[in-house]
Amino acid sequence: MTARILLVDDEEIIHASVKKSLKLGDWTIESAMNARQALELLRTGTYDLVITDLMMPGMDGLELLEEIRKGVGDVPVIMLTGYATIRTAVKAMEIGAFDYIAKPPTREELRGVVGRALKSRDLGEGAAVGVPDDRGAHYSLRDHSWAVVEPGHSSLVGPLSLIDSFFSTYSRYSPLPGRPFWQYVSDPVQLLQYLIGYGVKKMMRWRVPSGGHAVNTLGENLACHFVKPQAFLPKRLDEICQMVKASGSVGTQWVRYNLERAFLIAYVTEMDVVVANSSLKNPRPEYIAALNQQAGMDLSSYLERGYTSVRPEYRGMGIGTRLLEGLTSRVGDRKVFSLIGEDNSATQKIALRNRTRKVSTFFSRRTGKQMGIWIPEAMLDAP
């Protein structure tokens, strides 16, 4: 059966170009020069697909899409625009567009998108995308122009860069087994739908192991370890040192020295990869003397809690809190302090949630900013 397509654009040249690209298909192309005219045609006729420009005088393409969703129903809509950005693409997908194409589209690109849109209408699928189902599935790496060449050396653009930016630093040191699920999504529109439906954080946790026959969710098989540094194999300590340095939140000069002499190191593994770590350090005497001079507090008998780092894929799972609680419960009769920058509101909130109180502030000559000294409430002397 011949499909009816409504083309909406204020430029005659676009109408001619699109009709030429689609003329060999079993499709009938009808034209509207603006969104108002398109709505009139949609109210009086039945169409299988709408292709609309984004930027038009009066009502634009996004407004037309909203009106179509309110009054016409589930007819697929393809956005055609010379202003394709991730923001407009995501907005269009949120409203219910099937796809978007940047002007000028190639003949193959336009025919391919139109074919998929009409097929989805015939199947009654719309634009919905479900959680990846690994039953009997086999995932192949995508082969379109956004493909990743090497982990951590991505040539990704558009929506993929939203995810890719979280991984690059840590992947150079301790890559997780397998590949992220999003690297197997061949259709950029489908990828946008996953992003809109589930968000970046959830997609970050979907991973396809070697062989491509399943989708696993990170965080389901975590193991916590609390170990004295003397018991570490050199390779594992190397991994933790690299992870602390990758976080970029501390100076790197004394990382290995402090960890080798730490009171206790806590870390979490999954698939035999360190995904989070923290420690209780025995502070260097020179460091304690400098703190005493700058803050006016004698912390010589204290352990310092620090070097807490969680891989981006695992943030928001409460792992950091579990490590801090586990470390604090193992100090015996020792007391603990931590230093938190006055500009680091996120870490301060975590400290408050863990019933830790700021007891003093000072200006650090090393960092060049105000720092706070925080101590667990249970370790503070009663008034």
Enumerate domains of the chain plus CATH numbers.
Answer: 3-123 (3.40.50.2300), 160-216 (no CATH), 223-379 (3.40.630.30)
Task: Mention every residue, 6+ apart, whose C-beta is less than 8 A from residue 55.
Answer: 61, 81, 82, 83
Tracing tokens 């949120």 back to the chain, one arrives at 94
Q: Is the pLDDT of residue 108 over 50?
A: yes
Tracing tokens 């990704």 back to the chain, one arrives at 156
Contact between 57 and 10 (Cβ < 8 Å): yes
User: What local confidence, expressed as pLDDT, does residue 269 receive?
Assistant: 94
Q: Is the pLDDT of residue 362 over 70?
A: yes
Among 86-90, 289-293, 338-342, which stretch is predicted with the lowest mean pLDDT? 86-90
Band (pLDDT 50/70/90 cuts) for residue 85 is low
Specify the amino acid at residue 244.
V
Q: For 80-134, give the DSSP string.
A: EES---HHHHHHHHHHT-SEEEESSPPHHHHHHHHHHHHHHHHHT-TT-------
Please give the mean pLDDT across all residues of the chain: 80
Among 215-229, 248-262, 301-315, 334-348, which stretch is predicted with the lowest mean pLDDT? 248-262
Q: Is the pLDDT of residue 277 over 90?
A: yes
| Token pair belonging to 381 | 């002397």
Tracing tokens 């269009």 back to the chain, one arrives at 92
Tracing tokens 């954080």 back to the chain, one arrives at 201
Instruction: Find the mean pLDDT for residues 353-380.
Output: 90
* Residue that wins the pLDDT comparison between 356 and 249: 356
Band (pLDDT 50/70/90 cuts) for residue 130 is very low
Instruction: Find the mean pLDDT for residues 324-334.
Output: 92
Q: Is the pLDDT of residue 168 over 60?
A: no
Q: Is the pLDDT of residue 261 over 60?
A: yes
Task: Mention every residue, 6+ apart, whose C-beta is less than 8 A from residue 263.
Answer: 279, 280, 281, 282, 303, 331, 334
Q: Is the pLDDT of residue 304 over 90?
A: yes
Asked if the bond preceding 104 is cis, omega within 30° of 0, the reply is: yes
Contact between 278 and 266 (Cβ < 8 Å): yes
Among 110-114, 210-214, 246-250, top mean pLDDT goes to 110-114
Instruction: Find the mean pLDDT for residues 103-129.
Output: 71
User: What local confidence, expressed as pLDDT, does residue 194 receive?
Assistant: 73
User: What local confidence, expressed as pLDDT, does residue 110 receive?
Assistant: 87
User: What local confidence, expressed as pLDDT, does residue 127 receive?
Assistant: 41
| Token pair belonging to 291 | 């703190």
User: What local confidence, expressed as pLDDT, does residue 331 receive?
Assistant: 94
Q: Is the pLDDT of residue 383 over 80?
A: no
Parallel, antiparallel or unpaired: strands 49-53 and 3-8 = parallel
Cβ atoms within 10 Å of 314's Cβ, excluding its own: 19
Among 29-38, 72-81, 85-94, 330-339, which stretch is predicted with the lowest mean pLDDT? 85-94
pTM attached to this predicted model: 0.59
Q: Where are the alpha helices (DSSP H) in the chain?
A: 12-22, 35-44, 61-71, 86-95, 107-123, 160-171, 188-204, 234-247, 255-260, 285-295, 319-328, 345-353
Q: Is the pLDDT of residue 58 over 80?
A: yes
Could you give the 3-state DSSP secondary structure of residue 251?
coil
CA angle 230, 233, 239 (to 5 degrees): 110
Residue-wise pLDDT tens digits, 136-148:
444 444 433 333 3
Instruction: Find the mean pLDDT for residues 84-102.
Output: 70
* Residue that wins the pLDDT comparison between 88 and 320: 320
The strands making up 206-208's β-sheet, listed across from edge to edge, are 179-180, 206-208, 216-217
User: What local confidence, expressed as pLDDT, does residue 285 receive?
Assistant: 93
